[in-house]
Structure 1
Amino acid sequence: MTENLCEIVELPPVNITGLVSHDAAIFTQICAIMRAIKPALRSAISGLSFRPAALIVDLFGSEAMMVADEFEMPKYPLKIPGCKAVRPEDVIDPMVDRTNQQYLEYVRMGMDIPKCDGILLNIWEDLQPKTLEALRDEELLGQLCKQPSGSVIYVSFGSGGTLSLEQMVELAWGLELSQQRFIWVVRSPSRKTDGSFFTAGSGEANSMASFFPEGFLDRIREVGLLIEDWAPQVEILSHPSVGGFISHCGWNSTLEAITNGVPIIAWPLYAEQRMNAALLTEELGVAVRPNILASEEVVGRKEIEMMIRTITVDKEATYIRNRVKKLKYSAVKTLSEGGSSYNALSLVAKKLELQWKTMEVNAS
């Protein structure tokens, strides 16, 4: 390959109304979408001006592997952390063409903005709350810098995890009773814990205060920080002030905790998370978990307090911290040049390069 090429192709949405029942599980809906999208994927690949060297799919993309076989393309699964989609046609033109000098100027300006002392915007809170929340992320990290090393518990159940209102109340009491500092990414409570990817924002309560015990927000003002819906997780977990993570044990969150040396309170909710929790607690020894399944029963405040203290101040905390720090150093080594993961990915890249060259020769 003589140049880097990035061409984004957006596939049209598919209607699965007649393929699954209205109350089908999220997993079933996603699988139906992936099956229904295959003709559009096939058409998109055929319409490209070049033949891709490989097809890389995520966990749910196995249905597309037969399409790769039709085009004689090697296929690789890949789990990519998701973000809210932005259509290419909705951004300004220079951002689509990276060969355009304007693109480079926009990137330069964007990198310069965080260097200023403040940003004045012609908007207000209710107009663009998410934009303002994102801009205040630096403020969050600034607060973390004021906390003692390893003193903050980070609480997040992923982009799709939700708790019942009763469980949120117990978790709030557990955090308060533990007397530890904390940052909690709060999502609206739900009757279901099996993910809210298709129902985000449809929680039962109307305001954050109604999620918690009476007076909770006032009592934790000096030690707790509540953030709605989303937080910069990687930056938080990598901060020295963070000493524990109450997590749903999604694999991305699991690796982000381990590679930053952060002990975990395993709180699996759905999908493969229970298996991940078992690995973390029983095999790796870097986590503790409730005595009951959090996805089936309500975990009480006293048990939550106990788990927090187990990974922060109790005698067992030293053992857990040492275990996870050992894995952190192992992760750094394997990702460095000459490490096993570095070498494995290099082999994949070389194989793709050979495949590409072979395709070019055959085409000529």
Structure 2
Amino acid sequence: MVLSNKNPHLVLLSSPAHPTPTIELGKRLVTCQSVKVTVFVSCFVKAAAAVSKTIGSIPKTELFDVIQLPPADISGLVEPGHTGLTAVVSGVRVTKPAFLSAISALETPPTALIVHVYAIECLKIADELKIPKYVYTCSHAWYLALILYTPVLDEEVGGEYADKKEPFLLPGCTPVRPEDLPDPMIVQTKKDYLEFLQIGLDFPKVDGILVNTWEELQPKTLAALRDYQLLGSIVKAPIFPIGPIATEGTAGLKSELFYWLDKQPSGSVLYISFGSMGGLSVEQMTELSWGLELTQQRFIWVVRPPMAKTGSGSAPKFGHNADDMSSYVPEGFISRTRDRGVVVPHWAPQVQILSHPSCGGFFTHCGWNSAIECIINGLPMIAWPLYAEQRMNATLLTEELGIAVRSQTIPSKGVVGREEVATMVRKIFVDEEGRKIRGRVKELKLGADKAWSHGGSSYEALHEMVKHCQKSR
């Protein structure tokens, strides 16, 4: 059976580290373009059960299906405990044969293949099937520009990037400071950098690029990506800004936490979470706790066990274990703040909290998905970048978009003191600066809503992408 031009079949492939953004893109393609979508989800062995549970909760229809590939065992390919880009790409390579077999066996032949940026080497499968191939970058356009330009930097910059003092110039874009480089670029002699470089080298082979931003959010960077005299000379494929695409929440969720939220004044609660892999030292947790007490601010804090007794303030942490929260926050903190704060162990329904009328700000690790969730809810941020490209995200949010504040101390390099924590909280909830930030983020929220309205920039970009893949076939 071959689909008609009116109903193409798009196949999507996630990377093991980013299944949710790919699934959400698939949903958007179905709801906005009425195309048939099959999403293949790759995952690591340790995450297989959780991914299976997530997939099982997604309603499947005639136009939308999500299939979990066999879990990738990378124990013999990377060092134990390694969680960087090498691990992610290795997981893709392990599942590649299973993906080829699965896509070849589909009852409805695919019209085009869209892969997550960290699964870009699977585009070779599209060549075998003789179908168009696209890459989905679920981060922003500035990060995409850096990926595209890394092969040029690799030839032009002598020595380690992190040792340089001057920012790295990206044609037509904001320069990238050495301290803002994403983790894979920090040490060029490591495998993570070689994988990152290879991704940049593979981009010129694509037929199109989808990126999780929108025209009105990053017009200058998107223009540079399309300008042949700037970055467009590197990759001539069309750029489709199709954001904001974020995780959908569950409507009507009720618990003791939400009964508490319902009683708080509008815009009064600070939500604090550092992502599923964000860890703080005991020293940093202590300073954050006292900073919250100094402000008397209402809050919800998702607390995870500390990564270390002392040392740097924050870092990626994996494999959290259950523990008694009172043993790693200051003595009496939970009881002293009980009237205005809630401490939640390990996990909280972030999407539902951020969309609640009582939520007034987000103390965040600056993952791009979290940043987008803030923007679409019109919330200011306290930026606390930890790993991956989050330092770039924090700079974009604070310096270019003007919707966040951040500490002078880089959290991954030192402990941020309680006074500075309190100052940042007051900035977004009390000070004049916070009023301006709130006004700006509400403008961006309206722009995001407009981008996905019928005829909006992202709505039309997704429509153009579907037309493009049909013409390219």
TM-score range (shorter-chain normalised) is: 0.7 to 0.9
Deviation readout 1:301-338 (Å, 9 max, x if unpaired) = 11000000011101211111111111111111111111
The equivalences for 1:1-364 within 5 A come to 1=3, 4-78=62-136, 137-191=254-308, 193-196=314-317, 199-202=318-321, 206-352=323-469
Range with greater deviation from structure 2 (264-273 or 318-327): 318-327
Assess if the C-alpha contact under 8 Å between 1:26 and 1:195 holds in 2. Answer: no
Range with greater deviation from structure 2 (9-18 or 29-38): 9-18
Range with greater deviation from structure 2 (64-73 or 258-267): 64-73
Range with greater deviation from structure 2 (23-32 or 229-238): 23-32
More strand by share: 2
Deviation readout 1:100-159 (Å, 9 max, x if unpaired) = xxxxxxxxxxxxxxxxxxxxxxxxxxxxxxxxxx99744322322211121110101112
Residue aligned with 1:275, SS: helix
Distance 2:301 2:356 in 1: 15
Assess if the C-alpha contact under 8 Å between 2:280 and 2:315 holds in 1. Answer: no
Relative distance call for 1:195 and 1:76 in structure 2 (3 A) is farther
Query: Structure 2: any 5+ residue segments left out of the alignment?
Result: 8-35, 37-61, 140-250
Assess if the C-alpha contact under 8 Å between 1:137 and 1:231 holds in 2. Answer: no
Residue aligned with 1:243, SS: strand
Residue aligned with 2:370, SS: helix
Q: How many residues matched?
A: 300
Query: Structure 1: any 5+ residue segments left out of the alignment?
Result: 82-133, 359-364
Q: Which structure has the greater CA radius of gyration?
A: 1
Relative distance call for 1:47 and 1:273 in structure 2 (3 A) is same
How far is the alpha carbon of 1:13 from its aligned partner? 2.6
AA matched with 1:29: A
Deviation readout 1:273-306 (Å, 9 max, x if unpaired) = 0001001111111111000110111111110000
How far is the alpha carbon of 1:163 from its aligned partner? 1.4
Residue aligned with 1:344, SS: helix
Assess if the C-alpha contact under 8 Å between 1:175 and 1:304 holds in 2. Answer: yes
RMSD between aligned residues: 2.4
Task: Give TM-score, length-normalised by structure 1.
Answer: 0.76
Relative distance call for 1:161 and 1:77 in structure 2 (3 A) is farther
Relative distance call for 1:229 and 1:57 in structure 2 (3 A) is farther
Residue aligned with 2:316, SS: coil
Deviation readout 1:21-61 (Å, 9 max, x if unpaired) = 22434322112111222122112222222322222222421
Relative distance call for 1:76 and 1:138 in structure 2 (3 A) is farther
Identity %: 52
Distance 1:298 1:272 in 2: 20
Distance 1:178 1:34 in 2: 46
Distance 1:80 1:28 in 2: 18
Residue aligned with 1:213, SS: coil
Distance 1:213 1:145 in 2: 28
